[in-house]
Amino acid sequence: MGATVNTASRISVDGKFLRLSGKKFYARGVTYGPFAPNASGDCFANLAQTKRDLALIQELGANVLRVYNVPPHWFLDLVLAHDLRLLVDVPWNKHLCFLDSEASSGEAMEAVRNAAKACGNHTAVMAISVLNEPPADIVRWSGAKQMAHFIERAVEEVKLIAPHCLCTFSNYPPTEYLRPLNIDFHCFNVYLHQQKPFDNYLARLQMIADGKPLVLGEFGIDSLREGEESQEEILNWQIETAFRGGVAGTFVYSFTDDWFKDGRQIRDWAFGLTTTERQAKLAFATVRRLYRIAPHFPLFSYPKVSIVVASYNGERTLDSCLKSLQHLNYPAYEVLLVDDGSTDSTESIARRYPEVQYIKHEQNQGLSVARNTGIAAATGEIVAFTDSDCRADEDWLHYLIGDLLNSPFTGIGGHNLLPTEDSWVAACVMASPGGPAHVMITDRLAEHIPGCNMAFYKWALDDIGGFDPLFRKAGDDVDVCWRLQQQGYQLGFSPGGFVWHYRRATTRDYIKQQLGYGEAEALLTHRHPEYFNWVGGSQWQGRIYSSGKFGVLLRSPIIYHGWFGAGFFQTLYSPTPSFTLMLVTSFEYHILITLPLVVLAALFRNLIPTTIASILLPMAVCIAAAWQSEIPKNQRRTGSRLLVAFLFFLQPIVRGWARYKRSLNVPRSRLTRRENLESALREDSGLSFREVEYWNDPGLDRLEFLGVVLERLDQRGWQHKIDTGWNQFDVEIFGSAFTHLQLTTVSEFLSQGKQLIRCRLQTEWTLFAKVLFFALLGLEIVIIGLVGSDTWWHWLILLTLPLMVWFLHKDQNKLRRLVSVFLDEVATDLKLKRMESEKPRKTSP
């Protein structure tokens, strides 16, 4: 067996990268073979030739070989003696429909097991690839789900024999939709010879890899057809682009032109860095130069970065956080710790790090104020943020700032991953809804980046006035992202710039976190109503990337295979969780459905079955969601999914309660005394407030008029939502909890260059008002059905309906009058003249 397993010297996965003996390990590899069988029948060169090849590979600066046959023991020992590692592909007949036959699939699985027995425990082996480039039409024939399941079973077989050996399968664009869950890292073969498509596809692969490492298993150029100069030029930018893009390793295809396949020597291609006789080509020296620089290619510049850590009673993880920030691979940065009135040992921990600038708030003032304090004290051109419950990867700033500088983005974020040492409860919390996540519009353009891992140009934060102090516990990052985008700035994502984020270690801490998030949602709804739907849920344009799921999937992903399944890029389109089904887990469902049924069931026993069904339905949905959740296998326990189901059930109730409770205390826009007075004087004037018209002598454009209206609404703090292109109105103005108004404008062009700007003021009931009305109506129907209409309290409930309609009618009139006064003031300042109707009309509901 030679050198056997030694866990300390085995390569392991560490977030988005690999690690060996405590240090980052970046695979700088080449593919090797297969060759014509040697005297022993192995598809490897003889011993003398192998020694010469390995010496040349060392000179190249490579540290890993990819081989396409299971290597003999002498080869494993020789590779290790040259301080190299191996990625071993297991050969078997993948070009048959092997899943159609138990015998064929059994033979394939046996080949995987034999490979694991032969080399899986050898220190020289970095990883075993259980499958290489499965033909797309065969995967389509057998089914993507079945193929992914086979890969997962193959990985399990390897782990049973060689638990410390990494496992993957080698994918490529025609089957990029294959997503087995238990591979240790993603390995892709990519042959794209244009820089922009290569760069774009690399970003796409990083989104597919998500929180796991990405390795480019093959890429290369045929110098026979392209020429040696083109091979050199293309490999030059491919290697640099790959490492700048945050890959964990690359394998150039191939070391030599010597290649034996399908029982014959291949002579009509030349992908090698050396000829068949091992003479170096032009690309050899280029790859050697690049591999000596990789992975840390110099950035275009190194602007100073101020890292702001806001902490409130974060003693549990603060030491780990500050320690990680002391050894970042970035030359110009400072660390500012803002202690926001902590009552634990935060200050004593901070004193252990004299190079950290410690700023103390005597009282807790909230997360936004703490971050603003950090911004004010920052001397860097860029301000980066992480939390005291995070531990930064040593290359965090290298990738984060590198991607920011090489982009049009104003701000950038990255992954926040679960530390392997975190508890199984934390793993369940990670798999539950409501955790920090990034939202991507494209593979690079972000809609939201989480506050525990983000960086912005300081001038941009100054431009929007920093963080809003209204957000004390959470929501500050969402608010900043939205305000930056409203100013026309863009946000990006850096797949290589990640931090470890310790999740809540107990259910109690998780509930406390969700209470804070619920309060933040109430504030965000007030500040940014245009980003929320009719039930108060946030409306994201992009896709949410999170380890925690937020719903139940009712249909399988859809795969675009191309014409007759022959597309080179075959894409997976993941479905979104069922919004309608998740409504039964919402706080509103329990208040409007479950709670009334429980009360009525206490009075009317025949409602008990319906009440039980109303409770079991959300429980069943939560169990289904927990069953679909992804929990790391090494942190999974017997009760893990049961705990996730419980958190799925609890989270929307807790978060919804906090949202509604905070909504009652959100500071509302106050109307000026003049507006209230003038509105009251106009109440019985007979003027119509459903539509107002203004003579436009100055020839003001309607959009300019709307621009001033929006500016004044912002100045007065009136909550409003503008048209996003899909509405029949220009602006929606929120009045009370019961009424909002939709303002629509139009220009009429008259003779002599004059214009008339007409404004329609249409009021609508809010969702709360509609729910309240129909809840009363439903209660009335239930009571009539159960006890008839002869009880006195039935007539009392019936009386509330017309009273409510009358109240809403008055509320609508008030809001129309108020907005009419506001528009008059805007028009007066713009020198527009209000046109009064010849026959005054009474305001109608």
Please give the backbone phi and psi of residue 745, each rounded to the nearest 5 degrees, phi first. Answer: -120, 155
| Res 736 pLDDT > 90 | no
Q: What is the pLDDT of residues 87-100, one digit of tens each?
A: 999 998 888 889 99
CA distance readout (Å), 659 to 179, 365, 417, 436, 648: 36, 20, 27, 17, 17
- DSSP, collapsed to helix, strand or coil, labels residue 434 as coil
Establish whether the linkage from the previous residue to 34 is cis, with ω within 30° of 0: yes
User: Residue 547: its pLDDT value, please?
Assistant: 66
Dist. CA 743–CA 125, nearest whole Å: 68
Strands 445-448 and 491-501: antiparallel
| pLDDT of 839 strictly over 60 | no
Residue 796: pLDDT band by 50, 70, 90 thresholds? low
Q: What confidence tier does 714 reach under pLDDT thresholds 50, 70, 90? A: confident
Question: 844 falls in which pLDDT band (50, 70, 90)?
Answer: very low
Asked whether the predicted pLDDT for residue 352 surpasses 60, the reply is yes
Query: pTM of this prediction?
Result: 0.82
Give the residue-averaged pLDDT of 601-622. 86
Minimal CA–CA distance to 745: which of 689, 706, 696, 712?
Answer: 706
Confidence grade of residue 548 (pLDDT, cut at 50, 70, 90): low
Q: 122: helix, coil or strand?
A: coil
719-758 as b/e: b if 16+ CB within 10 A? bbbbbeeeeebbbbbbbeebbbbbbbbeeeeeeeeebebe
pLDDT over threshold 60, residue 651? yes
How large is the average pLDDT for residues 139-143? 91
* Alpha-carbon gap, residue 501 to 15, rounded angstroms: 11
- How far apart (Å, rounded) are the C-alpha atoms in residues 89 and 130? 6
| Range in 15-29, 112-126, 278-292, 740-754 the model is least confident about | 740-754
49-77: string of b/e by CB count within 10 Å (b at 16+)? ebeebbebbeebebbbbbbbbbbbeebbb
Tell me what the pLDDT averaged over the chain comes to.
Answer: 86
Name the residue among 211, 685, 684 with its Cα closest to residue 420.
Answer: 211
Kindly give, in sequence order, each residue whose CB lies less than 8 Å from that of residue 505, ignoring residues fewer than 6 positions away.
316, 422, 423, 425, 426
Other beta carbons within 10 angstroms of residue 372's beta carbon come to 22
**DSSP β-bridge partners for residue 741:** 733, 763
CA–CA gap between residue 417 and residue 446 (Å, rounded):
18
Comparison of pLDDT for 558 and 312, the residue scoring more: 312
Identify the band that residue 660 occupies on the pLDDT scale cut at 50, 70 and 90.
confident
pLDDT for 476-499, tens place per residue?
999 999 999 988 999 999 999 999
> Cα separation of 292 and 485, whole Å?
40
Q: Out of 210-214, 497-501, 559-563, 819-823, which region has the weakest mean confidence (pLDDT)? A: 559-563
pLDDT at 314 over 50: yes
Has residue 114 got a pLDDT over 50? yes
Higher pLDDT, 185 or 650: 185
- Whether the per-residue pLDDT at 769 is higher than 60: the answer is yes
The arithmetic mean of pLDDT across residues 170-199, rounded, is: 94
